[in-house]
Amino acid sequence: MALNPLIILLLQGAIIKMSLKLNDFFALSLGFLLFGISFFILNYPVNMSIIFLSCTLMTFGEILGTTYAQSIAFGYAPVAIRGRILGLYKSIYSFAKIIGTYLAGGLIYYASYNILWNFCGMIGLLGSAVILTLMFKTVYSKNNTDWALKQNP
């Protein structure tokens, strides 16, 4: 169970450093995509390699997702209320973790683990698609062909 914190401890800096060239929204979308794929992988017959792969992808997605979600929330918030916005972000994040755990338990109880993995995978893919759509509407619509890279204002 120590794989997630170990990956975060050893690789978070390197992952963020490699992703700094990417557009923040693209990096966030990539995080959601990795997170979604990690849940779909759990539908395969479970052995240690499947669990290792799923946990690794989930951790990479978590690193990209949480880092860039906070960065976007901070960057787009008006300077005068950035602290309040980040406090609200953290409150919503914590509330979602509580509600998500409760709903996941209900899905397992009334359906199955496979339904839960598919549902979580779909949420990850849907989140990735929504973020890419928003990014294309804002960045790519400006006739920019390097849509995945950071833009200089």
Angle at 36 between CA 34 and CA 40, to 5 degrees: 110
pLDDT mean over 111-125: 96
What single-letter DSSP state applies at residue 111? S
What single-letter DSSP state applies at residue 149? B
The amino acid occupying position 81 is I
The alpha-helical segments, DSSP class H, found in 20-142 are 24-41, 48-76, 82-110, 113-138
Q: How confident is the model at residue 153 (pLDDT cuts 50, 70, 90)?
A: very low
pLDDT of residue 146 exceeding 60? no
pLDDT of residue 1 exceeding 90? no
Compute CA distances 14 → 90, 93, 96, whole Å.
25, 25, 28
Q: Give CA–CA dist 77/83, Å, rounded.
A: 9
Q: What does the chain come to in residues?
A: 153
pLDDT higher at 140 or 111: 111
Q: Give CA–CA dist 150/22, Å, rounded.
A: 5
pLDDT of residue 145: 54
**pTM for the full predicted model:** 0.85
What percent of the chain shows pLDDT beyond 70?
Answer: 90
